[in-house]
Amino acid sequence: MASTMLEPQPASATGRRLTGEDISIMQTSAPDIKARHRQIWASGDYPSVAEDVIPTLGAELVHATGITTGDHVLDVAAGSGNASFPAARRGARVIGSDLTPELLESGRRRSEDLGVDVEWREADCEELPFDDGAFDAVISCVGVMFAPSHQRSADELVRVCRRGGRIGLANWTPAGFVGQMFAAMKPYSPPPLPGSEPPPLWGDEQHVRALLGTRVEDVDVSRRQVRVDRFADAASFLDYFKENYGPTIAVYRSLATDAGRVRGLDAALLDLARRHDRGGGAMDWEYLLLTARRR
């Protein structure tokens, strides 16, 4: 096992090693917040994270949203398709949209390997390139929560869903493991760019209800746990996330040669993983599942 004290040398989702220009964008407060987001999510290997760590989460969302044969479905901030593929397997016509081209390319390759028909489109959550009411169902599995403006993103989810259509969201909660992970990384992270809101707020029921407002009805909300048993122990979790998860990679790269702060962040994340260990490295990660119908 690699030492958790060593900084990873991240690669992109396509296996490409990051250049100095890539890392600079991740570290600086560049005016183009979308460029920074693309670089963060292209680093590491998020497709493997989704498949290795939370392989069942997309299917749970698709089931709860009631997606069925013939539905026209938009998966927003789809990544490499952890919810797009389960929806397509149910007979839906699915568009997987994401801001990051590298993730879309990974999704396309996986579509070919699995023989599952999904259309892939580059799209910004805050300005979706689709007509009003174009979809029977609009879903997002721990994706839209990372867009900078929560209200603009929520407005777009509602706009592209037809009246009577369904919206389904699965997002990490502030009090759950991932929310606490972001809290642990915050003291070590560069300042957030202006206009960027904390992602785990999408896991707060009242926040999401306020974002959607009176434009939806039949709202069903539950806090659930997904069992994560990919890691043997806290150290293997830390090594994996330092090498594969874009937001974690970005924070470690921002610390540059500050070995003391690297050790501090290592210790904080190791402590978090140990406190959530249910035995043998297994952890339960809490998420908010919300489904609603467009008025």
Q: What is the CATH number of the domain that holds 89?
A: 3.40.50.150
- Residue 5 pLDDT > 70, yes or no? no
Q: Which residues pair with 227 in a beta bridge?
A: 284
- What's the CA gap between 177 and 117, in Å, rounded? 33
Instruction: Please give the pLDDT value at position 3.
Output: 30
Query: Residue 101: in which H helix or E strand, if any?
Result: helix 101-114
Residues with Cβ within 8 Å of 68's Cβ and at least 6 positions away in sequence, in order, are 90, 91, 92
Tokens for 140, please give them: 């997002």
- Residue 25 pLDDT > 80, yes or no? no
- What's the CA gap between 253 and 130, in Å, rounded? 36
- Give a yes or no: residue 282 inside a domain: yes
Pairing mode, if any, of strands 72-75 and 93-98?
parallel
- Give a yes or no: residue 4 inside a domain: no
Tokens for 212, please give them: 């959607």
Where does the pLDDT of residue 184 fall: very low under 50, low under 70, confident under 90, or very high at 90 and above?
very high
- What is the number of domains present in the chain? 1
- Give a yes or no: residue 6 inside a domain: no
- Residue 222 Cα distances to 53, 74, 203, 276, 294, angstroms: 21, 22, 10, 21, 19
- What's the CA gap between 64 and 90, in Å, rounded? 13
Instruction: Please give the pLDDT value at position 84.
Output: 98
Write down the residue that tokens 């777009």 correspond to.
Answer: 156
- What's the CA gap between 119 and 176, in Å, rounded? 32
- What's the CA gap between 243 and 240, in Å, rounded? 5
Query: Residue 291: in which H helix or E strand, if any?
Result: strand 283-294
% of the chain at pLDDT higher than 90: 86
- Give a yes or no: residue 257 inside a domain: yes
- Give a yes or no: residue 167 inside a domain: yes
- Give a yes or no: residue 161 inside a domain: yes
- Residue 7 pLDDT > 90, yes or no? no
User: 259-276 and 177-185 are packed helices; what angle lies between their axes, rounded to 10 degrees?
Assistant: 160
Q: Which structural domain range is residue 251 located in?
A: 20-294
- Give a yes or no: residue 3 inside a domain: no
- Give a yes or no: residue 86 inside a domain: yes
Work out the mean pLDDT of the chain and round it to a whole number.
91
- Residue 203 Cα distances to 99, 217, 228, 239, 252, angstroms: 21, 19, 18, 26, 25
